[in-house]
Each structure stands twice: as structure tokens, then as C-alpha cells.
């Protein structure tokens, strides 16, 4: 079955710095790659997603890059702010099963 590895598990940056989180996957039939942000006591919230026919997508301070050949994708947050502090999850959707498989999560701490 699909396997999704996410790194790092924790990340601490100074306010204003950039943060990068990486995920690798195993199923070459995967076609959709969302990133979710989860704050304490809340459900995951979609922050950006990318489909397999696109290599990069940007939304203000957030960007996602996808390398289908290497089977990895990354979340980039620039000019980090304290309110970016949360747990971030990558996920992969297989076109065969339609299921979303989540990574293990990255706890991001932005220090003021």
C-alpha cells in the first residue's frame, strides 16, 4: 500500500525565517497532494494542494513543489509568523484507491 514519509517531525524557526517540510511517497499512481494545518483542539485545515500535472503552486507566503519522478513534494513557508505555529500534515491521494494517506506530521514552532 501507499507509504508517506514526512520530515522533519519538529521544526523551530525565528519569526521572518523560512520553513520547509518534505514528504516522500511510494505509489506512482498518486495524483493529488494536499497540505493541512492543524491547530490545537481543531481539525486539519487545507492550506494548499497540488495535482500531479503541476510542478509548483504558490499562494502568498505558502508554496508547494512536486517532483513526480523522485516521488517527493515540499511545503515552503516564507516570512514565518507566530500564528504559523501548528502541526502540518502532508497527504497523498492514490488514483487507484481514492484514499488520502497522511504523513506523520511536523510540529512547527515560530519564535517571536
Partner 1 sequence: EAGVAQSPRYKIIEKRQSVAFWCNPISGHATLYWYQQILGQGPKLLIQFQNNGVVDDSQLPKDRFSAERLKGVDSTLKIQPAKLEDSAVYLCASSDSEGGDYIQYFGAGTRLSVL
- Cα Rg of the chain (Å, integer): 13
Do residues 2 and 50 make contact, with C-beta atoms less than 8 angstroms apart? Answer: no
Residue 44 vs residues 10, 14, 39, 79: alpha-carbon distances, Å = 17, 24, 7, 22
* Minimal distance, residue 21 CB to partner 1, in Å: 13
Q: Which residues, numbered 43-102, are part of the site for partner 1 (CB under 8 A)?
A: 43-46, 49, 89, 91, 93, 97-100, 102
Among 13, 32, 78, 109, binds partner 1 (CB under 8 A): 32
The residues binding partner 1 (CB under 8 A) are 4, 6, 32, 34, 36, 41-46, 49, 89, 91, 93, 97-100, 102-105
Amino acid at each position: 500500500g501507499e507509504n508517506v514519509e514526512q520530515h522533519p517531525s519538529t521544526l523551530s524557526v525565528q519569526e521572518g525565517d523560512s520553513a520547509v517540510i518534505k514528504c516522500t511517497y511510494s505509489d506512482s499512481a498518486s495524483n493529488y497532494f494536499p497540505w493541512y494545518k492543524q491547530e490545537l483542539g481543531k481539525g486539519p485545515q487545507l492550506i494548499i494542494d497540488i495535482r500531479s500535472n503541476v510542478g509548483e503552486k504558490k499562494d502568498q507566503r505558502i508554496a508547494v513543489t512536486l517532483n513526480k519522478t523522485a516521488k517527493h513534494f515540499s511545503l515552503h513557508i516564507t516570512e514565518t509568523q507566530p500564528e504559523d505555529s501548528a502541526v502540518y500534515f502532508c497527504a497523498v491521494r492514490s488514483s487507484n484507491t481514492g484514499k488520502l494517506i497522511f504523513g506523520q506530521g511536523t510540529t512547527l514552532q515560530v519564535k517571536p
